Amino acid sequence: MRRVCAIIFFLAIGMIMLVSGSVSAAEQTINPADYSTMRETIKKIKLPTIDNPEWLKKQLASEAAATQIAKQAANTLTVTYDVTTKGTLYANLSEFKLLANQTLNDSRGWARMNVKFVEVPSGGRFTLVLSQANQLPSFSSGCSADYSCRAGRYVIINQDRWMGATSSWNSAGGSLRDYRHMVVNHETGHWLGHDHEYCKGAGQPAPVMQQQSISLQGCKFNPWPLASELWSTQLGI
């Protein structure tokens, strides 16, 4: 029995040696990298970053700017409005039209929502009215002869406020030009879908939808909509 076991043992050892021998022969594979410098040489060759020359940088920048403008133009929403008057006017209507249009399309104003306001002779989406003060209530019972107002599609600017702002505004040191920006933006803001806002904290710029004509509530006067006010239910923005 011992002999048989010994024979089996040595046979097994022999088989293992044979198999391992054949494996080592089969493992004799060639790795070209073990004998050639080509791979290492090429691995070290890299093209460095080539900075664009100045002329190309300028060209690309101007093209990018043009593309950006074209993109913005393509995304810009056009809102038409027409201008009319109510009552007897002593204000300069041309100046009113010009300043109102500048305000609406100012890069600090509602135009930041990619909206372009275009004045049309008639049939605009809203009507901007320069109204004699005492004519204001005729638009709506909610409109007062003391202030400007929005009634339906009408954005009504009180002629007296247009010409002299308010005592509150003036006493805070606000300029008439800024008041005019503010009142156009404020009343148009109502048409865009905004209600009144309140001062968020003393010393902060007032929201344009705050009734700055009446009180600044501790805020600094601000004729332009805040970033948080750049939305419109009317335009779906």
Partner 1 sequence: MSYGAHNWVYNMKKSFKKYIIKLLPVFMVAALLIGAFGVYLLGNSRQLASFDTTTQRYEQLTRLSKTVLSKGTGESKLSVRVDAIEQLAKLNRNNQCSGDWWNDWQQTLPRIKDKLGVCRKYEAKISTLAALAMTTSRHINDDAELANQINKLRIDTNAKNWQQTAVKNAQSALAAIDGSKPIKPVEPVKKAASERVLAITKAWQALTVGSAKQDKTIYLNAKADLEQAYASLDLITDVSDKQLEGAMTPLIEAAAKI
Interface residues toward partner 1, by CB under 8 A: 25, 28, 30, 32-42, 44-48, 50, 53, 55-56, 59-60
CB of 30 to partner 1, least distance (A): 5
Q: Which residue's structure tokens are 């003391």?
A: 146
Rounded CA-CA distance 177/136 in Å is: 22
DSSP for 45-67, please give it. --PPP-PPPHHHHHHHHHHHHHH
| In the complex, minimum distance from the CB of residue 18 to partner 1, in angstroms, rounded to a whole number | 17
State the minimum distance, in angstroms, from the CB of residue 117 to partner 1.
37
- C-beta closer to partner 1: residue 62 or 170: 62
Give the nearer residue to partner 1 in terms of CB position, either 2 or 43: 43
Identify which of residues 56 and 73 has a Cβ nearer to partner 1 in the complex.
56
- The answer to whether residues 113 and 230 touch, using CB atoms and an 8 Å cutoff, is yes
Torsional sign, CA 95, 98, 101, 104: negative
Dmax (CA) of the chain: 133
Nearer to partner 1, 32 or 236 (CB): 32
Q: Which is nearer to partner 1, 52 or 170 (CB)?
A: 52
**At closest approach, how far in Å is the CB of 50 from partner 1?**
6
Q: How far apart are CA 132 and CA 125, in angstroms?
A: 22
We find the least distance from the C-beta atom of residue 95 to partner 1, in angstroms, to be 47
Cβ-based neighbour number of residue 102 at 10 Å: 14
